[in-house]
Amino acid sequence: MTIIHPYPISLLHAFYFFSIGAIYTFIVQFKSLLAKHAVKSIPIFTLALFVPSEPLRSSPPSSLLNPNLKKFGKLALVLSGIADQFLLHTDKPVLFAIGGLLFFSAHVCYLLAYRPKQRLSHTPLSIFCFIVTLMMMVGLIIFIFPRLRKTPFFVFGVSVYLFIEVVLISVLVQFPNTPDRCSRCHNRAIVGAFLFFVSDLILFNRVFAIERFYFPSWAVMLTYYLAQFLLACSLNQVDCSHKTGEIKR
C-alpha cells in the first residue's frame, strides 16, 4: 500500500518564516512588552496548528515509535507557546517559575512522544551525549549558583528542568535506524532537542548569572525557534516521503 503524505511541510515553512519575520520586526527592534506578548508565541502556535494529532497509522506494529507521537508533540508545542508568555516576565519570579513549569511539562510531552515502546540498550554514542550534556548542565549550575542559592526552589527547578532535556537528547540518540521511519526527520529531532538545551543554557545564564558571558537576546530566540521547528518537522518521520522505500502490507 502506498503511503500518503498529508503533512503540509511547504505551508508549514511559509507560515513559520512569516512568523519569524514578525518576531524580528516587533520584538527585536522594539521594546514594547505588549508587542512581545502579541507575537512571541505566533511561530510556536503556528507549528502546533499544522501538526496533525491523529495516531500513527502507517507505522507497523513492530515499530518502536509511540503511536501517539504527534499528539504528544502537538501538546508540547501548545504548552511551549503558553509558557513563552510567562517567560517574558523575568523580573517577576512567580510568573517566570510558572513559565518554567509549563516548559518542563512540554519537555515531558516530547519525552513521552519519543519514548520507545520497548526498552532500548544504551549505545556508546547515547552514553557520550548524556555525559557531555550532563557536564554542560552541571557547569552552568555551578556558574549561576551564587545567585540561584538565594532561592532554593530555583536550584531544584533549574536542575530538574535541564536534566529532563539531557535525558531527552540521550533517548533520541539511542533510537536505532529502522525502515518504518525517516532517519532524516529523526536526526532533526536530535538537533532540535540539543538546540533547545543550548537555548535554555543561554537563557539561564542571562537571567541568573552575576558575571555572565555576553549572549545577545536574539541568540536565545534563534536557537529556541529553530529547535521547535526541527522538533515539529521530526513528528512527520513515519509519513515522510524521504523514507527509504514504501511500507507494504
Tens-digit pLDDT profile for residues 105-161: 999 999 988 887 777 777 888 899 999 999 999 998 888 888 777 777 778 888 999
Query: Burial letters for 97-117: b for 16+ Cβ neighbours within 10 Å, e otherwise?
Result: bbbbebbbebbbbbbbbbeee
Residue 4 lies in a domain: no
Name the least confident of 1-10, 130-139, 194-203, 236-245.
Answer: 1-10
Is-above-0.85 flag for pTM? Answer: no
> Whats the size of the chain, residue-wise?
249
Unique residue bearing C-alpha cell 508540547: 76
Domain that holds residue 127: 9-234
* Cα-Cα end-to-end distance for the chain: 6
The residue with greater pLDDT, 195 or 5, is 195
Residue 1 lies in a domain: no
Residue 106 lies in a domain: yes
Domains: count for the chain: 1
Identify the DSSP state of 244: S
Residue 245 lies in a domain: no
Residue 2 lies in a domain: no
Within 10 Å of residue 213's Cβ, how many Cβ atoms?
9
Residue 241 lies in a domain: no
